[in-house]
């Protein structure tokens, strides 16, 4: 466990679970034309040495925890995403029967290794198809509230987790309520690029190195129901639930609450402003718990607090 103080910056090497769960990664990636020297040593070591997760734990390989010394239950942990670097020039999209929003669509597994042109910042999806890269960590979280000894990494929750929030790229900020001493932050599930919803069950899953700054805000997490986020152009409100309608309802309520607090509006005016100017999107349509987020434009307000700038 790494111990840090509020304000410190940490560079974190992560490893995707794809390609190491059922077959050694050199063989797995070699079948797709990836040279052995392009396979991460950490991935090989995890496959050969790490214990397989118990039933119900989830498949993700996570890096952490990071203990932030000042963090206490009821605080808010601000996570500034300073950079997200690629570790390899390829990733995996994996889907098949029972996966994603259309579980009956496919009769056979359909995994594919997708190569990246890192110089041009595109994924080479097909002969005439290139997808612009936008790397982010699919999982960023603090330890969940005390409870069961085993918590799956698959569904997201109030602690963050597997939100697959595509706007958590370099230059964005994630805000998480703290439930345990030290916050106990962890991350994993790197994505080279993903559309909202992650509808087939995966993105381009890849090993990434995020550089993050951690800042504790005392007492600011007591009223938080869900994580929040921010970048230079938007505030982001979130809502989650196994039912998509309920997730949307939670996201709208979070937005109304934010607008009331941010602009001193009545509930009626905040509800109207949300309807007029906030786009609500399905960030996560799979992984048991759905996540909907609202994009609140900062340009709505004549004045906004100065936002930190990515170097």
Per-residue pLDDT tens for 245-296? 999 999 999 999 999 999 999 999 999 999 999 999 999 999 999 999 999 9
Residue 150: is its pLDDT beyond 90? no
Greater pLDDT, 232 or 58: 232
pLDDT of residue 121: 98
Residue 311: is its pLDDT beyond 70? no
pTM of the full predicted structure? Answer: 0.95
Mean pLDDT, residues 33-38 = 92
pLDDT of residue 238: 98
**217 contacts: CB under 8 Å, gap ≥ 6:** 75, 76, 77, 78
Q: Are 2-217 and 228-300 equal in CATH topology?
A: no
Domain positions in the chain are 2-217, 228-300
228-300 adopts what CATH topology?
Endonuclease I-creI (3.10.28)
Residue 310: pLDDT band with limits 50, 70, 90? low
**Are the C-beta atoms of 229 and 281 separated by less than 8 Å?**
no
User: What is the share, in percent, of the chain residues with pLDDT greater than 90?
Assistant: 88
Q: How far apart, in Å, are the Cα atoms of 251 and each of 74, 247, 263, 265, 276?
A: 21, 6, 18, 18, 15
2-217 adopts what CATH topology?
Jelly Rolls (2.60.120)
């Amino acid at each position: 466990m790494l111990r840090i103080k509020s304000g410190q910056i940490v560079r974190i090497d992560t490893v995707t679970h794809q390609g190491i769960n059922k077959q050694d990664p050199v063989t797995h990636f070699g079948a797709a034309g990836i040279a052995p020297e392009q396979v991460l040593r950490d991935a090989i070591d995890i496959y050969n040495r790490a214990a397989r997760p118990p039933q119900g734990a989830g498949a993700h390989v996570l890096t952490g925890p990071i203990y932030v010394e000042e963090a206490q239950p009821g605080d808010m942990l601000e996570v500034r995403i300073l950079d997200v670097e690629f570790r390899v020039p390829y990733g995996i999209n994996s889907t098949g029967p029972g996966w994603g929003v259309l579980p009956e669509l496919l009769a056979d597994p359909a995994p594919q290794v997708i190569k990246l042109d890192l110089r041009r910042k595109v994924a080479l999806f097909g002969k005439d198809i290139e997808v612009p890269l936008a790397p982010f960590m699919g999982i960023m979280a603090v330890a969940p509230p005390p409870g069961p000894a085993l918590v799956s990494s698959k569904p997201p929750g109030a602690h963050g987790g597997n939100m697959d929030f595509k706007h958590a790229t370099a230059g964005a900020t994630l805000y998480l309520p703290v439930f345990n001493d030290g916050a106990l932050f962890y991350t994993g599930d790197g994505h080279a690029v993903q559309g909202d919803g992650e509808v087939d069950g995966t993105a381009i899953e890849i090993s990434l190195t995020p550089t993050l700054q951690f800042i504790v805000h005392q007492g600011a997490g007591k009223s938080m129901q869900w994580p929040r986020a921010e970048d230079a152009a938007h505030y982001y409100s979130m809502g989650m639930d196994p039912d998509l309608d309920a997730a949307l309802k939670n996201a709208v309520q979070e937005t109304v609450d934010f607008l009331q607090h941010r602009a001193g509006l009545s509930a009626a005016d905040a509800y109207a402003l949300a309807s007029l100017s906030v786009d609500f999107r399905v960030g996560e349509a799979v992984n048991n718990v759905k996540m909907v987020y609202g994009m609140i434009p900062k340009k709505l307000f004549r004045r906004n607090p100065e936002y930190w700038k990515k170097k």
